[in-house]
Amino acid sequence: MPQTLFDLAEGIRHCTACPLWKNRELAIPGEGSSKAKIMFIGEAPGTEEDRHGLPFVGRSGKYLVEMLTLANLHPEDVFTTSCVKCHPPKNRQPTSKELSTCKELWLVKQIELINPEIIVLLGKVALKSLLGDKDLQKLHGKIVTKDGRKYFVTYHPSAGMRFPNIGLLMKKDFMKLSLLINSFPL
């Protein structure tokens, strides 16, 4: 088992455990502090992420940075990653098999190594993958505890950009996240 995030990232870059590797340019392990107290998990890398090898570098990444700023967070102080580490063809949602493969091989180990105080789930796919729940509307803006971990649920930045009402909900969620962070001994 990899002992460091670097070892894990190297394994992710060479992974061929599911068919997503066949169409990727670069696998995207994640980015940020190995000692991050807050971890953000999205759905899957997009086209820009695939080209650059970094998470959240496209338009949704810029939107995420705006939300982080609202919560008084800096990108270098958090860890960002996705449920799957390779860009699905035609920006489709990852299949349940792709999600479970990546979760078992990589995502759970990343969470264990970083050991964040709060894991922020960005969108329905991350919510389903990690908590087994699909009701994003009911859970957004709330903390859910599972297996001793605290998960904060909100919408994916791409939805916040596309739909003004979701963008407003995200802003409220991130302001709430800021208050939660200040109440925890991070």
Confidence of residue 65 (pLDDT cuts 50, 70, 90): very high
Count up the domains in the chain and report the number: 1
Whether 186 shows a pLDDT value over 60: the answer reads: no
Confidence of residue 185 (pLDDT cuts 50, 70, 90): low
DSSP per residue, 141-182: T-EEEETTEEEEEE--HHHHHH-HHHHHHHHHHHHHHHHHHH
Residues in contact with 116: Cβ distance below 8 Å, sequence separation at least 6, in sequence order: 36, 37, 38, 39, 79
pLDDT at 181: 87
For 82-102, write each residue's pLDDT tens digit.
999 999 999 899 999 999 999
In a domain, 61, yes or no: yes
Dmax (CA) for the chain in angstroms is: 44
Whether 153 shows a pLDDT value over 90: the answer reads: yes
AA identity, residue 55 = P
In a domain, 140, yes or no: yes
Confidence of residue 41 (pLDDT cuts 50, 70, 90): very high
pLDDT at 182: 82
CA distance 98 to 101: 5
Whether 2 shows a pLDDT value over 80: the answer reads: no
For 160-172, write each residue's pLDDT tens digit.
999 999 999 999 9
For 116-141, write each residue's pLDDT tens digit.
999 999 999 999 999 998 799 999 99
In a domain, 124, yes or no: yes
Whether 183 shows a pLDDT value over 90: the answer reads: no
Q: How far is CA 119 from the centre of its chain?
A: 8
In a domain, 12, yes or no: yes
pLDDT at 133: 80
pLDDT at 184: 66
The angle that helices 59-70 and 164-183 make with each other, rounded to 10 degrees, is: 50
Residues in contact with 45: Cβ distance below 8 Å, sequence separation at least 6, in sequence order: 28, 55, 82, 84, 85, 86, 87
The rounded mean pLDDT for the chain is: 93
Adjacency order of strands within the sheet including 79-82: 31-32, 79-82, 38-42, 118-122, 149-154, 143-146
In a domain, 89, yes or no: yes
CA distance 160 to 45: 17
Query: In CATH, what number is assigned to the domain containing residue 135?
Result: 3.40.470.10
DSSP state of 73: -
Domain extent for 52: 5-181
Helix (H) and strand (E) counts for the chain? Answer: 9, 6
Burial of 179 (0-12, 13-18, 19+ CB in 10 A): exposed
In a domain, 186, yes or no: no
DSSP state of 105: I
Whether 1 shows a pLDDT value over 60: the answer reads: no
